[in-house]
A = this chain, B = another copy of it.
Amino acid sequence: MKHILSALLLLMPFMVFSQVNEDSAFIAQIFETALTQGKSYPDLEDLCKQAGPRLSGSLAAQKAVNLTEGKMKNYGFDSVYRQEVMVPHWERGASSPLVLELSEGSKVIRPMPICALGGSIAGKIEGEVLEVMGWNELSKMHSKEIEGKIVFFNRPMDARMVYTFGAYGTCVDQRVFGAIWAASKGAKGIIVRSMNLRIDDFPHTGSMAYSDSVVKIPAVAISTLGAEELSSLLKADAHLKVRYEISPKLFPDALSYNVIGQLTGSKYPNQYIAVGGHLDAWDLGEGAHDDGAGCIQSIEVLRLLKTLNYKPSYSLRSVMFMNEENGLRGAVEYARYCDSMGQKHIVGIEADRGAFAPRGFFIQANPEQLKHIQAWLPLFEEYGIYVIKGGGAGADVGPLQQIDEDVVLIGFVPDSQRYFDYHHAANDVFSSVNQRELELGAAALASLVYLLDKYGVD
């Protein structure tokens, strides 16, 4: 027995080597197929152009449900189905541009493009402007300085942070909580600098919150260029007036769907590895990077593995979550449903950081599991992926951990430099996506799913 063990131990380096070679060869096939016979690029074009701006509850969102369901059925996945979920239904309506009026001689400055923040009430606002860099500054001011004014939150994203989502994270509180903060001090409206590192003329929308205990006030985003201009005009003329009018409307909750495709596992059919993105998108652009790319890449993961005739041990799922942007209802419902059916997820992977060249994966797992997954890094390096480390996976897979603390969550991390050029803005359209970057991302995800399916998470 001891001799056999010794012999096996001697053989181990070779076994590991041939295993690595086998994995390396299969991953090469995945990348080759994605880059030469990939469907992600035309599929994303269909989603962007045939469905289009697809905020929860909209007709376009329903088109996106039909379209992705149809695609997965056409690709012959083992099962494809929808999951009902009631979602918020907010519509933007028309917006006026922001008009600025100088106090001296009432000279009117050029109108600037703005957009209502997602969830804002309607309103027509006119007044003086108080520029602040955030709650820290606002909280120290006396209400008298603020009452009847429009608060202008102008703290920019921190350009020093190389990973731009970090800069977003330290800045987005202005958009989410600005209306509550400002109203609690008596302001009648807010203008928020767009979450964008580039100086340009696109206002960026995004979710915002109201509080039941504070009056609701209309909230808009201004472009980064507009914010810079408004700020310098205010320095010259503190009594400058602005006016804007927005007319969004909140409708009753609407019936919508998560869309799920599956390749059923041969060994553990009731244990799941899910990869997903969110099907809803803000209404100004086409949701190409956010998050058409993640949805289509998730479909492509299963299509690539099926095309290469891979037979999974676990059941693999591609999940289009509905309503990430303004509710997360789809993600919550997906987790609830799986829990109620006794469907155990071993891994939930989220792709929601844009269609850029893949750089790595962020892992939420215990240290042993992290180490186990990190050991695969050498297989990814020739594809430009050098980072597997602990970090947040994403909003849509989060609820899976609430129903099962053992699940491993993974976030796909492409290059972040250009993401906020497009995020929630009118230029997040199909033409802003590079085909190869999208395809490399899909291949990276498929390779990870292959390794997870083959070797598990421990």
Contacts and interface: CB of A to CB of B under 8 A. Distances in A.
Interface of A: 31-32, 35-36, 159-160, 162, 164, 197-198, 357, 359, 381-384, 386-387, 415, 417-418, 421, 434-437, 440
B384 A159 contact: no
A159 B437 CA distance: 12
A432 to B, nearest CB: 11
Contact of A160 (B35, B418, B435, B437): B35
A36 B440 contact: no
Contact of A435 (B31, B198, B383, B435): B198
Nearest to A381: B386
A360 to B, nearest CB: 10
A160 B434 contact: no
A223 to B, nearest CB: 15
A241 B386 CA distance: 51
Contacts of A418: 434, 436-437
Contacts of A383: 162
A359 B359 CA distance: 10
Nearest to A38: B159
B384 A162 contact: yes
A31 B381 CA distance: 25
A142 B357 CA distance: 45
A159 B421 CA distance: 27
Nearest to A161: B35
Nearest to A160: B32
A162 B436 CA distance: 9
Given A162-B382, A162-B440, A357-B415, 10 more contacts: A32-B160, A35-B160, A164-B436, A197-B435, A198-B434, A198-B435, A359-B384, A415-B415, A417-B440, A418-B437
B436 A159 contact: yes
Given A357-B415, A384-B359, A435-B198, A36 B421 contact: no
Contacts of A437: 417-418
A387 B435 CA distance: 24
Nearest to A443: B162
Nearest to A438: B417
Nearest to A437: B417
Contacts of A421: 434
A421 B198 CA distance: 22
Contacts of A197: 435-436
A435 B417 CA distance: 9
Contact of A31 (B162, B164, B382, B417): B162
- Nearest 5 CB-CB pairs, A to B? A386-B386, A35-B159, A417-B436, A32-B160, A357-B417
A349 to B, nearest CB: 22
A216 B384 CA distance: 43
A198 B41 CA distance: 11
A30 B310 CA distance: 48
A386 B386 CA distance: 7
A225 B415 CA distance: 28
Nearest to A28: B160
A416 to B, nearest CB: 9
Contacts of A162: 31, 382-384, 440
A40 B384 CA distance: 26
B415 A160 contact: no
Nearest to A434: B418
Of A36, A417, A437, A440, most B-chain CB atoms within 10 Å? A417
Contact of A36 (B160, B164, B387): B160
15 contacts: A31-B162, A35-B160, A36-B160, A162-B384, A164-B436, A359-B384, A381-B386, A386-B386, A386-B387, A415-B415, A417-B434, A417-B437, A417-B440, A418-B436, A418-B437
